[in-house]
Structure 1
Amino acid sequence: MADSSKSDTLPFPILIGDIGGTNARFSILIDARAEPKPFPHVRTADYATIDEAIQQVVLDEASVRPRSAILAIAGPIDGDEIDLTNCAWVVRPKAMIANLGFEDVLVVNDFEAQALAVAALPEEYRETLGPDGEPHLASRVVLGPGTGLGVAGLVYARQTWFPVPGEGGHVDVGPRSERDFQIFPHLRRIEGRVSAEEVLSGRGVVNIYQAVCAADGVNPAFSDPADITARGLNGTDPQAVETLSLFSTYLGRVAGDMALIFMARGGVYLAGGISQKIVPALKGPEFRAAFEDKAPHSELMGTIPTFVVTHPQAALAGLASFARTPSAYGISTDGRRWRR
């Protein structure tokens, strides 16, 4: 079982890792004053296990031996064997302690780490969507379309930030406009339903594009999300252009829903690889229009700022901030920390 001790401090040096469905990123924090030492990005498909990736990419190359690890993983944390939602890796903290030499392993949700990052994200690492203004010191939301769709809240109370991990990317989405009703019958579903992740992710881009093509009676010309977004941004394919427009609309709707749930007066932050790549589309009218279209609270929604996170390693930055000063964040380690 995971250690339920209330002591927050992990022993330095600390390996910090951001484990997504497609890529994994690692760095080592020598002490509370040091900047993290980064290591090359890892494609999860290139290694059979996370332990193998850590050993070959980090431990075999590092000049210092990390005593502990904080890992942010894309999936719910339950028990001693933790499955990733969109990756074949399984995180086994007990085995890491036994085989990789760690004394202490803490596992958190990947968007909990993103939430930690936006607690104090400098202006230079955010791109404003819609009305400009400094965000309030108040609750926030992070959404990240990438391999999947990550969602987390960040509640501010008693001068402390409390990350709230969840699986909000799997909420239902439905059609609203006349065009939606033409497109939605062609969307791929999971057990009969369209979840947010099935339209707001890499595969979601393809899902929308293929549905638009089906509604228009044309054959899809592209099957890679990067090709679709590129053609949508440069305007050379009409179905790809509409795909980005609809993606922005659907993202705005879901982001607005999450803002209402958390009363996120401190802002909504779009993280994940896709958001950074499609900033021009998100700066169009669709995203904010859908975000604010929440009658009877449209006026309230107009006051909530929205941003794209442009920090290249936001999750690692958030984990490093927690590792340095864990007492500044309201993170419970119960059921998520293992010790030798």
Structure 2
Amino acid sequence: MASRRQPDTFLKFPILIGDIGGTNARFAILKDAFADPKFFEIAETEKFETIDEAIQTNVLDRTSVQPESAVLAIAGPIGGDEIDLTNCHWVIHPRRMIADLGVEEVVVINDFEAQALAISALGEDAREEIGRGIHREGASRAVLGPGTGLGVAGLVRARNMWIPVAGEGGHIDLGARTERDRTIWPHLKTIEGRVSGEQILCGRGLVNLYQAICKADGIEPVHTRPADVTQAVEAGNDAQAREAVDLFSIYLGRVAGDIALIFIARGGVYIAGGIFKRIMKLVDQAKIRKAFEDKAPHSELMREIPLYVITEPQPALAGLAAFARSPRFFGLETTGRHWSIAK
């Protein structure tokens, strides 16, 4: 199949898109701007020495379509020709990918930039609202997601484009507010004395919170994995696991409210990531909404801002696909993040 450059994009089709997290890597191929993505089996990062090996094994060996370009979203800061992932042993070498995998160009962006691209166009069937807000279509938006870590990004509208704003918002300070919080906080594992959002609001953070609750209650923790904590809640026989999941959701609501204030996200704040989707049925959504709105002196503003849970199964890939099809609709800076044969 001959490659062809669409009139509104600098990328050649077919395009490989990839969402590279700390635990899993998800890939798809777009044959052209009008085709639905062809998805491939999820690759567990620990099973492959390099990303190139994962792409070769999970994608190229399973299709006759040879991608001409690649757009990858990664969990970590991007700079230089060697890109380290924050919670994964892989190191991305775009020039080596061009030489070894047969692509002509590679674009690498932050994983939550891809999530931000996705929330530019999520329909009602791809999101579920928590509480009630007033959705303003062209207003700023934000997304955060507890997973292997805690990702945060914003999305602002200017000059008829959606502009993603990436950062490391998952590492903001998370403080104690209630008496119960203050009994738990001394037992939390910290990073150089800090309790950041990511120390609680991610998979290992849920375990950190559960174990701190146990220590505050003077009992020995028995769970060491996030799944163990949630399964104990489902079984209904573990008060500390129950409280950990409840507080996890409340703290997530607090941080989501903080992010809403940073971006004045009248277009909505979106919760991504698999962890919250798994525990959503176990928690009181009214308490999450209350924590989200409890931002005096701006509680009235917060009552107007929608809070959503993303239910789209592959939101980052959906965002990458939207960008690959029509990059002119997005103000995505690619300087220093675009490698090609010509460069």
- Alignment of 1:151 with 2:152, yes or no, is yes
**Offset, 1:283:** 4.4
Quote the Cα distance in structure 1 between the aligned partners of 2:103 and 2:16. 9
What root-mean-square deviation, in Å, do the aligned CA atoms of Structure 1 and Structure 2 show? 1.3
In structure 2, the partner of 1:40 is 41
**Offset, 1:179:** 0.5
**Offset, 1:164:** 0.6
**Offset, 1:221:** 2.1
Conservation of the 8 A alpha-carbon contact between 1:253 and 1:290: yes
Quote the Cα distance in structure 1 between the aligned partners of 2:86 and 2:46. 14
In structure 1, the partner of 2:5 is none
DSSP-derived class of the 1:60 partner: helix
DSSP-derived class of the 1:9 partner: coil
What is the TM-score of this pair, normalised by structure 1?
0.96
DSSP-derived class of the 2:144 partner: strand
**Offset, 1:98:** 1.1
Quote the Cα distance in structure 1 between the aligned partners of 2:115 and 2:284. 22
**Offset, 1:67:** 0.5
Aligned letter for 2:106? Answer: V
**Offset, 1:256:** 0.7
Aligned letter for 1:263? Answer: I
Quote the Cα distance in structure 2 between the aligned partners of 1:311 and 1:236. 32
DSSP-derived class of the 1:251 partner: helix
Aligned pairs for 1:173-212 (under 5 A) are: 173-212=174-213
- Alignment of 1:224 with 2:225, yes or no, is yes
**Offset, 1:233:** 4.3
Quote the Cα distance in structure 2 between the aligned partners of 1:197 and 1:25. 22
Quote the Cα distance in structure 2 between the aligned partners of 1:283 and 1:77. 38
Query: Mind listing any 5+ residue stretches in structure 2 that lack a counterpart?
Result: 1-7
In structure 1, the partner of 2:17 is 16
Higher mean alpha-carbon deviation, 214-223 vs 229-238, is at 229-238
Aligned pairs for 1:1-340 (under 5 A) are: 8-131=9-132, 134-340=135-341
Aligned letter for 1:199? Answer: I
Quote the Cα distance in structure 1 between the aligned partners of 2:334 and 2:79. 12
DSSP-derived class of the 2:12 partner: coil
Aligned letter for 1:201? Answer: C
Aligned letter for 1:240? Answer: A
Quote the Cα distance in structure 2 between the aligned partners of 1:245 and 1:283. 8
**Offset, 1:131:** 1.1
Higher mean alpha-carbon deviation, 46-55 vs 7-16, is at 7-16
Conservation of the 8 A alpha-carbon contact between 1:248 and 1:281: no
Conservation of the 8 A alpha-carbon contact between 2:134 and 2:304: no
Aligned letter for 1:96? Answer: M
Q: What whole-Å deviation, never above 9, does each CA across 1:31-70 have from its counterpart, x for those lacking one?
A: 0010011110000000011011011111111111001100
Aligned letter for 2:128? Answer: E
Quote the Cα distance in structure 2 between the aligned partners of 1:140 and 1:282. 24
Q: What whole-Å deviation, never above 9, does each CA across 1:79-119 have from its counterpart, x for those lacking one?
A: 11111000000111011011111100000000100111110
DSSP-derived class of the 2:62 partner: coil
Query: Mind listing any 5+ residue stretches in structure 1 that lack a counterpart?
Result: 1-6
Quote the Cα distance in structure 1 between the aligned partners of 2:150 and 2:322. 23
Aligned letter for 2:194? Answer: R
Aligned letter for 2:213? Answer: V
Quote the Cα distance in structure 1 between the aligned partners of 2:204 and 2:157. 34
Conservation of the 8 A alpha-carbon contact between 1:136 and 1:267: no
Count of residue pairs the alignment pairs up? 334
Q: Compared with structure 1, are the counterparts of its residues 40 and 16 closer, same or farther at alpha carbon in structure 2 (3 Å cutoff)?
A: same
**Offset, 1:236:** 2.4
In structure 1, the partner of 2:3 is none
DSSP-derived class of the 1:53 partner: helix
Identity of aligned residues (%): 63
In structure 2, the partner of 1:4 is none
DSSP-derived class of the 2:165 partner: strand
Conservation of the 8 A alpha-carbon contact between 1:139 and 1:265: yes
What is the TM-score of this pair, normalised by structure 2?
0.95
